[in-house]
Structure 1
């Protein structure tokens, strides 16, 4: 996976390592059925998009 990615980004591959790390750690293994992040931490990583509210206005309540 990394070799294929570096092939397309010869000069900037090191700048994209955080994205590669996230992709590898959050992908579910066919063998275990879990992601590496889940196996190491006991939970799936919370992505920044999951933390954002989708509400357009103030919440009343």
Structure 2
């Protein structure tokens, strides 16, 4: 039996987030419709993400 694992992707840099990475996930603070993932590197550098639904940008 084969199982496939889908890894989340950072909303800023588009890199895959591994299971033990220090990342955060949260719903878009503006519309609440999109789950935003941020890797440790993007969080520390305060890189901007943009919600694909409402176009809200945040650090």
- TM bucket normalised to smaller: under 0.3
TM-score using structure 2 length = 0.25
Q: Please identify which structure carries the higher helix content.
A: 1
Q: Please identify which structure carries the higher strand content.
A: 2
Greater C-alpha radius of gyration: 1
